[in-house]
């Protein structure tokens, strides 16, 4: 699209149209603001829910909770909606709220820099340059696929793809398929692929704790009731939220709770797998909760099928016709699917973002991602994150967190609109991070004896998760308080003035 310079200069640039970027877009519009653009590398909104189209993709957080509090949906078909339904919900919200005209799709941000002279963020994208006084990073940390490189991978004669980049034109029916990984994605993929593949080899490096999935369908009458009485949806949402909060206590390392949750997961395994040896191999060797606790009723039974092989220890190398497991056995396969997770602790956007003095976020974060109140980073004026450092939850809805951050950011953006340049002081950020580190001590994520994407491998710090109850997130991180920021007044040339002067 050929755009004029005025269309490329705006008040707020939002990067990413997932739940975070979309949510902010909706709230800005509801405030009557039109001076924002959303740069999105994909062809539509949706973020992870647009990209993860693998068979069996569903949310493991109930949909009446995993949705915007300001756009409740009475029509969820079941407790945990499938990917397509969630994506449709997001597209509907974007359309109904008038956000789509603000979105620039298929626009990949290649580099983004703070222009100290003009007090602007300047983004170089695949579709040209964009500029704004404020920059909102809503790129998430589960957006860039992590495909490990195994020796011999280039010589493999079949198809290889990542779970978040599913190749739908590769027909798996009757094929021999290897799936690497046993995380939240793998446990949804494996049962589906095993139904039609001639053979499925599951390369499991670490076993997962899996609990029963309660997933009833809503009846027509229930949906009509939700539509007529939105307060019922609000009540359902609150009930789901507080039930999840109760589960959080376990993550803090409370012995009796750990025991209760462990027994729930192990008895699910016992009920589904009779064979003692197979059960032993499917039993994790770390404390429950250290990695995400998964929900599935059909994952364990899949290993009872004749066409499914469990290979312990993960993959070591690839041959032209197969994959070799940790025990040295080669499994002949036609397709390799890597359900190996995401570049979560070192997000690629950090290497492309340059703040004051040309320092990149990647270099600023040499001990791992961090931000004051999870949103602001010193050295990066007028930049705020939504769903950035320390915003993941192992036990509740990520959208609750995003909404709290959106409220914070909206207040900050009001000050930017009045011509201010705000940069959080390094000392404030450091004090906040020390408090978070103290809060993280003793949690199962650091002491549970596992390696996960919650912890930065460079420093051993918990950088992606919020280390407390979800409700405290809002208490600790809002409201916006400008006293921790160094504030300068921009000489403030409006976009229109600047263009006239040029």
Minimum distance, C-beta of residue 420 to ligand NAP, in the bound complex (Å): 36
Helix (H, G, I), strand (E, B) or coil at 317: strand
Beta strand 315-319 pairing with 322-325: antiparallel
For 125, other C-beta atoms within 10 Å of its C-beta total: 20
DSSP for residue 356: G
Distance CA 294, CA 307 (A): 23
Minimum distance, C-beta of residue 78 to ligand NAP, in the bound complex (Å): 13
Q: Is 148 in the site for ligand NAP (CB under 6 A)?
A: yes
Q: Quick one: which of 101, 133, 109, 106 has its CA closest to 120?
A: 133
Q: Is 87 in the site for ligand NAP (CB under 6 A)?
A: no
| Residues making up the chain, counted from first to last | 502
Distance CA 374, CA 136 (A): 13
Minimum distance, C-beta of residue 282 to ligand NAP, in the bound complex (Å): 13
**Judged by CB under 6 A, which of 339, 376, 402, 422 binds ligand NAP?**
339
Q: Is 243 in the site for ligand NAP (CB under 6 A)?
A: no
Q: Is 84 in the site for ligand NAP (CB under 6 A)?
A: no
Distance CA 405, CA 380 (A): 17
- Is the CB of 280 or the CB of 356 nearer to ligand NAP? 280
Q: Is 314 in the site for ligand NAP (CB under 6 A)?
A: yes
Q: Is 340 in the site for ligand NAP (CB under 6 A)?
A: yes
Distance CA 19, CA 26 (A): 10
- Is the CB of 188 or the CB of 420 nearer to ligand NAP? 188
- Is the CB of 451 or the CB of 496 nearer to ligand NAP? 451
Helix axes 255-272, 230-251, angle to 10 degrees: 110
Site size toward ligand NAP (CB under 6 A) is: 25
x/- track of binding to ligand NAP for residues 398-437 (CB under 6 A): ----------------------------------------
Beta strands in 78-154 (DSSP E): 103-104, 109-115, 120-125, 128-137
For 354, other C-beta atoms within 10 Å of its C-beta total: 21
Query: Which two tokens mark 152?
Result: 């011999």
**Judged by CB under 6 A, which of 122, 125, 202, 206 binds ligand NAP?**
206
Distance CA 67, CA 76 (A): 10
Q: Is 455 in the site for ligand NAP (CB under 6 A)?
A: no
Peptide bond into 464 cis (omega under 30): no
Minimum distance, C-beta of residue 59 to ligand NAP, in the bound complex (Å): 4
**Judged by CB under 6 A, which of 25, 183, 389, 495 binds ligand NAP?**
183
Distance CA 399, CA 72 (A): 12
Q: Which residues pair with 353 in a beta bridge?
A: 112
Does residue 383 contact residue 137 with C-beta atoms inside 8 Å?
A: yes
x/- track of binding to ligand NAP for residues 21-60 (CB under 6 A): -------------------------------------xxx
Q: Is 182 in the site for ligand NAP (CB under 6 A)?
A: yes
**Judged by CB under 6 A, which of 181, 253, 379, 467 binds ligand NAP?**
181
**Judged by CB under 6 A, which of 15, 38, 258, 315 binds ligand NAP?**
315
Q: Is 143 in the site for ligand NAP (CB under 6 A)?
A: no
- Is the CB of 61 or the CB of 462 nearer to ligand NAP? 61
Residues near ligand NAP (CB under 6 A): 58-61, 142, 148, 163, 180-186, 205-206, 292, 314-315, 339-342, 451, 453
């Amino acid at each position: 699209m050929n755009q004029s310079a005025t269309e490329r200069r705006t008040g707020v640039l939002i990067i990413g149209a997932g739940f975070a970027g979309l949510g902010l877009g909706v709230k800005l519009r509801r405030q009557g603001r039109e001076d924002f653009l959303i740069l999105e590398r994909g062809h539509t909104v949706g973020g992870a829910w647009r990209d993860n189209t693998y068979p069996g993709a569903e949310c493991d957080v109930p949909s009446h909770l995993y949705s915007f509090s300001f756009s409740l949906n009475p029509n969820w078909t079941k407790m945990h909606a499938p990917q397509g339904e969630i994506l449709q919900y997001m597209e509907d919200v974007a359309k109904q709220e008038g956000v789509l005209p603000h979105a620039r799709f298929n626009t990949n941000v290649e580099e983004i820099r703070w222009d100290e002279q003009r007090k602007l963020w300047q983004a170089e994208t695949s579709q040209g340059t964009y500029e704004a006084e404020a920059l909102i990073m809503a790129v998430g940390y589960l957006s860039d696929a992590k495909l490990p490189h195994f020796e011999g991978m280039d010589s493999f004669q079949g198809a290889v793809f990542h779970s978040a980049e599913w190749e739908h034109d590769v027909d798996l029916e009757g094929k021999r398929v290897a799936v690497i990984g046993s995380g939240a994605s793998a446990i949804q993929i494996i049962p589906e692929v095993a139904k039609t593949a001639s053979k499925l080899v599951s390369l499991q490096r670490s076993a997962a704790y899996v609990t029963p999935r309660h997933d009833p369908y809503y009846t027509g009458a229930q949906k009509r009731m939700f539509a007529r009485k939105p307060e019922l949806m609000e009540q359902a949402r609150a009930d789901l939220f507080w039930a999840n909060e109760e589960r959080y206590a376990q993550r803090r390392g409370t012995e009796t709770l750990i025991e209760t949750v462990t027994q729930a997961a192990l008895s699910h395994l016992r009920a589904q797998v009779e064979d003692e040896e197979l059960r032993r191999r499917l039993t994790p060797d770390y404390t429950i909760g250290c990695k995400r606790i998964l929900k599935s009723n059909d994952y364990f039974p899949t290993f009872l099928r004749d066409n499914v092989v469990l290979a312990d220890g993960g993959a070591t190398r690839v041959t032209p016709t197969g994959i070799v497991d940790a025990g040295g056995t080669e499994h002949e396969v036609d397709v390799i699917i890597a359900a190996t997770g995401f570049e979560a602790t070192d997000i690629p956007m950090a290497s492309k973002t340059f703040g004051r003095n040309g320092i990149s976020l990647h270099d600023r974060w040499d001990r791992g991602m961090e931000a004051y109140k999870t949103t602001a980073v010193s050295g990066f004026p007028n930049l705020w994150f939504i769903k950035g450092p320390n915003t993941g939850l192992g036990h509740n809805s990520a959208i609750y967190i995003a909404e709290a951050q959106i409220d914070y950011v909206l207040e900050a953006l009001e000050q930017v609109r009045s011509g201010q340049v705000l940069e959080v002081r390094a000392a404030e950020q450091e004090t906040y991070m020390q408090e978070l580190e103290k809060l993280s001590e003793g949690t199962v994520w650091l002491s549970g004896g596992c390696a996960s994407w919650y912890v930065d491998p460079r420093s051993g710090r918990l950088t992606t998760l919020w280390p407390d109850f979800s409700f405290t997130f809002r208490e600790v991180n809002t409201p916006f308080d400008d006293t921790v920021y160094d504030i300068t007044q921009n000489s403030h040339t409006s976009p229109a003035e600047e263009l006239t002067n040029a």
